Structure 1
Amino acid sequence: MTYPLVSELAADGIPVSVSCRVLKLARQPYYRWRNAPIRDADVLRAYRINALHDAHHDDPTFGYRYLADEARRAGWRMSRRTAWKLCSQAGILSSAQRRRRGKGKKAGPPVFDDHVKRVFRADAPNRGWLTDITEHRTTTEGKLYCCAIKDVFSNRIVGYSISDRMTAKLAVDAVRNAVTRRGEVAGCILHADRGSQFRSRAMARELRLHDMVGSMGRVGAAGDNAAMESFWSLLQTNVLNQQRWTTRQELRLAIVVWIERKYHRQRAQDALGGLTPIEFEAKLTEPLTLAA
């Protein structure tokens, strides 16, 4: 904007007509600007861009459609076309669209240190949790994503979230579900890979809210989260590969039933002394309950 410059020159005694002639500006728009330096449309545009920026920071994988939805939830309504235009002008780009040649995109930097070091054991519940996201395609409705959280003490899935979108909200909802089920979790380590969902600002905020400790493995080191990968392997073999799933709801129900009924209550594990996760926790925590 050169109008402020015209005002500064006018304050120094240079006539507006001279400044506008030198700067090749029309005088009438300048006077309109002086009477209302910041238009209502400019203020609204600034607030909308700020809302889009906030949503993008929470989850960098969001495209302009999802950013428009998040901004609308924050109170700033706009069409998706307006969101696309504002995102283009402000340089707000989805990280999922930045394709690179080669084997795949490079993992982002860790926001947490590795506090697990491939030691997938704990001497009490809620000391160490593992988390990851898996996906599976349905024949008519596209992919379904599941984020699960596993307690290394008993191998129990203490929380999970299932959605048709792989966003930071998917991971945050899984943490909230686990905290609701388990109660006091202060000091618990949550270990994940370097997926953008786990590196998001929303996830870091959720961990701070519950006094939890974030942890991340190295790039390309599947063994750093091997105990969680073993659970996905079981889910793949026992549910996902059993048939072709038509709808997301059908697949969602099958995943929940297998976790809550088969895995937790019927599938005995050698690592737990031949007990199921539910039996193992009941047996190991019973002496503590009696002592209390």
Structure 2
Amino acid sequence: MNRFQFVADHQRRYGVKRLCAVLGIARSSFYCWRRTAEDRAARQAADIRLATRIRAVHHESSGTYGVPRITAELRERGERINHKRIVRVMRSIGLARRAAAAQAPHHDRGPGRSEGPGPDRPRFTASEPNTKYVGDIAYLPLERGRFLYLATVIDLASRRLTDWAIADHMRTDLVTDALAAAERTRGSLTGAVMHTDHGAQYTSRAFAAA
């Protein structure tokens, strides 16, 4: 909580003058902050909505789009938006660093990457359970622009959720935890095929090893 909000919350009991003196802020600054509260709330709400759209574009790109491409994509969808605002919002939701890392040259995958994703197997049907699975990460919006992330493992024979993992991050252990949960549910995944997108989590060495 900032000092202005503290004054606003306790002014009836202690008075603005006394609180401002104790907290070392000018009363004129407090009254200016209070006058602009509605505009700030509107901007915050707009940023939350923008964060949702940014996350959607980022997810659609499998985590590879950074500021320039996200800005271009949103403009193509009719948004009149400045790239500096995209930078600010992406930083506020923790995407800027991940996007920058995802755009590193692909000829050097680094120690955390596998040698490459396995071949695509596009027949998304299975006649027997525990033979073919698909996995993905879903975004679960919370208040104030925050998100949880749900990694799923779905059996293609039944189209039912075998197991899952949920976290407040998108690190590789989110998807390996989901895979481990599915293995515990089924007893074994030996011989099964799993299809995912080519996002950084699923192409990591840790996931390949799992």
TM-score for both structures, normalised by structure 1: 0.36
- Structure showing greater radius of gyration is 1
TM-score for both structures, normalised by structure 2: 0.46
